[in-house]
Amino acid sequence: MDYTAGKPVDSRVAETMLPYMTAFDGNPSSVHSFGQEAKQVLEEARVKVAQLINAEKKESIIFTSGATESNNMAIKGFAYRNKDRGTRIISSNIEHMSVMNPAKYLLTRGFEVTFLPVDHEGLVNLESLERELTDETILASIMHANGEIGTIQPIKEISQIVHRKKAMFHVDATATAGQIPVDVQADGIDLLTISSNDMYGPKGMGALYLKQGVRVEPLIHGGGQEQGLRSGTENLPSIIGFGKAAELAKAEMQTENERLIKLRDGFINGLVGAVPYSYLNGHPTKRLPNNVAVRYSFIEGESMLLSLDMMGVAASSGSACTAKTLEPSHVLIATGLKHEEAHGSLLFTLGKQNTEEEVAYVIGLMPGIVKRLRAMSPLTPKELKE
């Protein structure tokens, strides 16, 4: 139940990729017929990704090596190309590191970056967005939803505020494209990051949507593939897999989400209802269908993960003890949690293969795990010990 960390490639996706990994070796840039066939399937995949997010045309889709590259291109590529119009950029405190760190890097290159605060449920403060937007602001980058707390931002509303000040709007849709509806035209999005693996496509693959007229500087120069914006011979098998994953996601999203939301809400109620001093992280309703993020007082996340692992359950935590940096998750801290509260966080992310039985199994395990760890903890108040 750790689908955010990595999803299996859908077998139907893998099937479409296989011939292009073994038998077929056309290069879309070649003139001969193998090359032309490669070009054709490449463009078919581009259409499928474009349709998933309702892009106005397929040329708006630039294939990249994944969400991290797309975010880098959207932040640094846009800033470099548009610095004559202004040097202010706005983002939020709960962005993924692949948005945060490029934005922080730009601070060393003469740009000003503001990271907006969020409320306890993880929603970006729209008043501070309005306040921070100036005539110098060229770009606002706000994620559609956060995979750690599940909160979905009101992106259409944000877009309207951003556009009133004539800035461009980038959305990191890693956690949403292919999971919940994303419509770049209806939502008013200028740049959008899409991840392939997050919709059961191959890893190391993603795309950046660029609305017509939005200019970015390429980060990778070379042979001029992807309209000169992302050079390098196209990763054809992965692009084809990505296209298939996008097609499947679009077709199956609604049914799958109805299933997941039922599973999710039962899971949350089963966890938070069973043990005192347990809480939901993130927003109760504006929430990703697969996201179950909770926290328990007086105990630490890694020891919960080890306990679950012993019972065959994979999950994740925002505790410092599970991080390379030894810092608790910046997302949890941004929602106002104290460090010791963030350490007690536990994240389950559901996917296609999770069932009601599995959820019931974990709901049944948690009270015992929490009880054992609380019995060990010097922080546990006396009334809980009996």
Q: What is the set of active-site residues?
A: 321
Q: From the CB of 343, what's the least distance to another protein, in Å?
A: 5
> Binder to another protein among 76, 264, 283, 343 (CB under 8 A)?
343
> Binder to another protein among 74, 299, 308, 347 (CB under 8 A)?
299
With CB under 8 A as the contact rule, which of the stretches 201-209, 246-254, 296-304, 349-357 interacts with another protein? 296-304
> Using H for helix, E for strand and C for coil, what is the string for the chain?
CECCCCCCCCHHHHHHHHHHHCCCCCCCCCCCHHHHHHHHHHHHHHHHHHHHCCCCCHHHEEEECCHHHHHHHHHHHHHHHHCCCCCEEEEECCCCHHHHHHHHHHHCCCCEEEEECECCCCCECHHHHHHHCCCCEEEEEEECECCCCCEECCHHHHHHHHHHCCCEEEEECCCCECCECCCHHHHCCCEEEEECHHHCCCCCCEEEEECCCCCCCCCECCCCCHHHCECCCCCHHHHHHHHHHHHHHHHHHHHHHHHHHHHHHHHHHHHHCCCCCEEECCCCCCECCCEEEEEECCCCHHHHHHHHHHCCCCCECCCHHHCCCCCCCHHHHHCCCCHHHHHCEEEEECCCCCCHHHHHHHHHHHHHHHHHHHHHCCCCCHHHCC
70 or 322: CB nearest another protein: 322
As a whole number of angstroms, the distance between CA 2 and CA 363 comes to 15
171 or 342: CB nearest another protein: 342
**Residues between 302 and 331 with contacts to another protein, criterion CB under 8 A:** 302-303, 306, 310, 319-322, 324, 326, 328
> Binder to another protein among 110, 255, 378, 386 (CB under 8 A)?
378
226 or 341: CB nearest another protein: 341
Q: From the CB of 48, what's the least distance to another protein, in Å?
A: 39
291 or 322: CB nearest another protein: 322
Please count the residues of this chain forming the interface with another protein, following the rule CB under 8 A.
23
Q: Does residue 2 belong to the site contacting another protein (CB under 8 A)? A: no
Q: From the CB of 24, what's the least distance to another protein, in Å?
A: 40
7 or 343: CB nearest another protein: 343
As a whole number of angstroms, the distance between CA 198 and CA 328 comes to 24
228 or 312: CB nearest another protein: 312
Q: From the CB of 120, what's the least distance to another protein, in Å?
A: 19
> Binder to another protein among 339, 356, 360, 368 (CB under 8 A)?
339
Q: From the CB of 237, what's the least distance to another protein, in Å?
A: 32
Q: From the CB of 307, what's the least distance to another protein, in Å?
A: 8
Interacting residues with another protein (CB under 8 A): 298-300, 302-303, 306, 310, 319-322, 324, 326, 328, 338-340, 343, 375-379
